[in-house]
Amino acid sequence: MPDNKMVSNVEEGRILVLERVFDAPRELVFQMFKEPEHLKRWWGPRGWEIPVCTVDFRPGGAWHYCMKCVDPNQGEFYGMEAWGKAVYKEIVEPERIIYNDYFTDAEGNVNDDLPSSLITMEFIDLGGKTRLVNRSEFVSAEALQIVMDMGMLQGITETWDRLSELLEGELK
């Protein structure tokens, strides 16, 4: 797998698997997913910011956030807010994070009209580099298709690009 290029595939029609190698140690990549001050610097596609980000990083805890489009060039998306929540199921630092991922409102109430997923993130030590494997398991192929149609693949690609750029800056 080439460095800094995301590879994606779908398993069983309802599991999206994303992989990418980051040119940074596993402990640093993991840390970027656990602290709000880091997440605010890179989470979300280009042109989006995280004005709200609270993290209770423990099994049973939650990460609640708001992504807001701040780029006027994104047309109808400009000013839009998208709220989400991760409820952590398992954390094995710095190897794995498993959580349920939901679309929510500003109060953290789950939006049952949009698909939720079970996310398993594996951080694999490659001796100074890290392979991140993200498995998003949806209840059905239709649920996965809904988020794909919403632009999830482009959004996560841009998000991980921003993470890669931040990690490069951290290591200089």
- pLDDT, tens digit (0-9, with 9 covering 90-100), for 77-114: 999 999 999 999 999 999 999 999 999 999 999 999 99
Give the integer Cα–Cα distance in Å for 34 and 29.
10
Give the integer Cα–Cα distance in Å for 163 and 161.
5
Its CATH class, for the domain covering 7-46+90-170, is alpha beta
Tell me what the pLDDT averaged over the chain comes to: 95
Strands in 7-80 per DSSP E:
7-11, 15-22, 48-55, 62-69
The alpha carbon dihedral of 158, 159, 160, 166 has a sign of: positive
Nearest to 159 by CA among 35, 41, 54: 41
Under DSSP, the state recorded for 25 is -
Residue 169 phi, psi (nearest 5):
-65, -35
Nearest to 28 by CA among 132, 110, 155: 132
Read off the pTM: 0.93
Extract the tokens encoding 3.
Answer: 């460095």
Over residues 140-171, the pLDDT tens digits come to 999 999 999 999 999 999 999 999 999 998 88
Extract the tokens encoding 111.
Answer: 């939006």
Nearest to 64 by CA among 46, 78, 81, 45: 81
User: Could you please report the per-residue DSSP string of 89-114?
Assistant: EEEETTTEEEEEEEEE-TT--B-TTS
Spatial neighbors of 153 by CB under 8 A, at least 6 apart, are: 8, 16
Confidence grade of residue 12 (pLDDT, cut at 50, 70, 90): very high
